[in-house]
């Protein structure tokens, strides 16, 4: 079950965190993984981990805010069977603390970057008579989170994009879903805590962990497992859906 053998998967932001976990798992399940990443060192690290374990992976170092760069990479990669739009950046602040430059930066990476990849991949998937797209949204698209104005905006857009693409390409055998995680323990979280709460790292980590009713943060590997299912043939009847993977945050946090 959940084999991706002979599948070509393009994964953005595959150098670290959730994207890395998805890349490693997809390669383990037999996919030829193409990592699109801004950070060369991170991308090469994921590729090395995959290839050292017998998997197949290639790194493509570009900026997804450039449609020209994205189009060139997809022409090089060829027709993808799977596209995972994972790359994204965060911003902390309410609307008064979000400058126009901050807003544009978040939109350019999280929304336009996804648009660029979709625009490049979908015509190829149509030629290929099918494909699977998975977008990474967030619980921030569904609930009010303090000081996440621009980030929430971008993830709400990702949810809407998912529904639109799923609807428009039903008859082209292209499925499109999204995942909405709550807080996941990655290096970004550790860096955020260290930067904003020096000397109180352990206290803040515990507080952030307990904001999920289950009592801890998720792991990148848990997100990757859901991604694998949704991109596998076993999920062939699923499209146009958003999956919360949140330790009970949405429904039990009361």
Residue from 138, 20, 12 nearest 82 by CA: 12
C-alpha closest to that of 180 among 223, 150, 147: 223
Active site residue 151: yes
CB 177 within 8 A of CB 134: yes
Which entry of 151, 169, 197, 229 is annotated as an active-site residue? 151
Q: Which whole-number Å values give the CA distances from 180 to 75, 103, 185, 229, 241, in the listed order? A: 30, 21, 15, 15, 10
82 strand-pairing partners = 9, 132
Backbone phi, then psi, for 184, in 5-degree steps? -115, 135
- CA dihedral (215, 26, 49, 19) in degrees, to 10, reads -50
Question: What is the residue-wise DSSP string for 74-92?
Answer: HHHH-S-SEEEE-------
Q: Which residues are catalytic?
A: 151
């Amino acid at each position: 079950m959940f084999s991706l053998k002979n599948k070509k998967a393009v994964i953005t932001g595959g150098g670290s965190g959730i994207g890395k976990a998805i890349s490693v798992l997809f390669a383990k399940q037999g996919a030829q993984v193409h990592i699109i990443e801004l950070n060369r060192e991170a991308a090469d690290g994921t590729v090395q981990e995959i290839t050292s374990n017998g998997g197949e992976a290639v790194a493509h170092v570009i900026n997804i805010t450039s449609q020209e760069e994205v189009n060139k990479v997809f022409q090089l990669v060829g027709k993808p069977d799977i596209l995972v739009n994972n790359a994204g950046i965060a911003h902390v602040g309410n609307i008064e603390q979000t400058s126009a430059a901050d807003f544009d930066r978040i939109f350019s990476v999280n929304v336009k970057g996804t648009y660029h990849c979709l625009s490049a991949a979908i015509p190829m998937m149509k030629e290929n008579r099918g494909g699977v797209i998975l977008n990474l949204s967030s619980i921030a698209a569904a609930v009010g989170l303090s000081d996440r104005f621009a980030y929430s905006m971008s993830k709400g857009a990702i949810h809407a994009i998912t529904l639109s693409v799923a609807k428009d390409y039903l008859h082209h055998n292209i499925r499109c879903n999204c995942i909405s995680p709550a807080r996941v323990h990655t290096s970004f979280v550790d860096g955020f805590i260290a930067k904003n709460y020096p000397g109180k790292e352990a206290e803040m980590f515990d507080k952030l962990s307990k904001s999920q009713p289950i009592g801890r943060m998720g792991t990148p590997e848990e997100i990757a497992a859901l991604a694998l299912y949704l991109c596998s043939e076993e999920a062939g009847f699923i499209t146009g859906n958003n999956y919360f993977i949140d330790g009970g945050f949405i429904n039990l946090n009361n």
